[in-house]
Structures are given as C-alpha cells and as structure tokens.
Amino acid sequence: MRNATLPRKSAPWRAALLIACTSVPAFGQDTPNQFPLPHAMSALARLLVGVADGKPTGMTGVTRLTGPVGTTDAAIGSACRELTRSGPFVLDSATRLEGCSGEAGKRVVFHLNLFEFDASREGTASFMASARPALVRGICRNPDVPVLGRLGIALVFRYTGIGNRPVGEVSIAPGGCAAA
C-alpha cells in the first residue's frame, strides 16, 4: 500500500488500516510461523493454514484439490474441520485464525478475528472498502494462492472484530490474482 493514502484517513482509521494492511494476515513475510502446527495435521490443512498466514507451503496437499467438484468440496470441508479443531492460531499481534469452512463450489471461507478491532465504530464499511485492494494484493503475493485459483478454488477471508462483530470480507475468485 502506498503511504500517500494514509494521511487522508482519520488517526484511528489510519492506525487500523496500518494494522490491517501490514499484519492481517502477514502476507509474504519471511518470518517463521508464530505458532507450531500440530504434527498430525494433514498436508491440505497445513496448506490452508499457510494460505491464511501468507506463508507458501510448496503446495503440499494440493493433489486433493484436483478432482471433480464434489471430491474437492469434500476434501476442503474435511481439511477445514481439521484446521478448526486444531486452532485457533494467532497469526500476528492483531489477528487470530479461528478456522475455516468449505462451501459448495470449491470455496474456502477463512474465519479471521481482529481481536483488538472495534467493528462497531462508524466507518467500518468504508475502512474495509479502502483496505480491500491492499489486502488482495498481499494475499496474492503468496505463490500458493494463484495456483489454487487456477484449480478453481475461491478464497474468502471473513474478518470479525471484538465480540465477533463483522468487519468485512475479502473474496478472491479463481483467477482473481491476475487483476491484483
């Protein structure tokens, strides 16, 4: 995100935007995971954690996503249930991955909580609208994400704040990283 867009925001929203764009999740950063993944976690569940955390996994587990839609939907659902049972995972100082869910049509919905963000503040919707392009660019920097798109996988990052109040969501349709 360009710094030139920050001064136009009010001070509280500028701080929230910085948190959202630099650490929600920490896409593309080469820092080690801040949490250990359970050793028994399947390769596909690990791949999904990597997508949420912005860390490439080398696409381990992706072969489970190359079959027919029904088989892929079942694999995504199973991996999301496993991830959710194994979590939550603290991704950074402001974000927790609560889990994910699989939806029909090769959709993965990540449930992310911005545990210090007050979603009841006025302007939350405009904040998400202004942060969305930067978030999409950050998500698409993970080399695993465009590959998932080429396999027809849609990714949805659903954010909640304090008290699980909705903040907004970022959706990346298959091929959506090409435009980012």
pLDDT digits (tens, 9 = 90+) for 94-145: 899 999 999 999 999 999 999 888 888 887 878 888 889 999 999 999 999 9
The answer to whether 54 and 139 are in contact (CB under 8 A) is yes
Tokens representing 61 are: 């587990």
Domain-located, residue 15: yes
Residue 77 · residue 42 · CB < 8 Å: no
What pLDDT sits at residue 8?
40
Residue 33 lies in a domain: no
> How far is it, in rounded angstroms, from Cα 44 to Cα 178?
24
Q: Maximum Cα–Cα distance for the chain, whole Å?
A: 49
Q: Rounded to an integer, what distance in angstroms lies between the CA atom of residue 84 and that of residue 54?
A: 17
Query: What number is the average pLDDT over the span 21-38?
Result: 45
Distance CA 17, CA 11 (A): 10
In a domain, 155, yes or no: yes
In a domain, 92, yes or no: yes
The pLDDT-based confidence of 17 (bands split at 50, 70, 90) is: very low
CA distances from 122 to 13, 19, 127, 154 (A): 10, 17, 9, 30
Q: What is the CATH number of the domain that holds 10?
A: 3.30.300.250
Contact at 8 Å (CB) between 174 and 153? yes
Name the pLDDT band for 5 (thresholds 50, 70, 90).
very low
> CA geometry: angle at 88 spanning 85 and 92, to 5°?
155
Please report where in the chains the tokens 């587990």 appear, as a residue: 61
Task: Please give the Cα distance from 11 to 76 (Å, whole number).
Answer: 40
pLDDT in tens, 60-86: 788 888 888 999 999 999 999 999 999
Domain that holds residue 98: 3-22+43-172
- Identify whether 127 is part of a domain: yes
| Structural domain count of the chain | 1
Could you tell me if residue 37 is inside a domain?
A: no
In a domain, 119, yes or no: yes
Does the residue 104 lie in any domain? yes
Q: Enter the tokens of residue 83.
A: 């991830």
Angle 111-114-117 (CA atoms, 0-180°, nearest 5)? 145
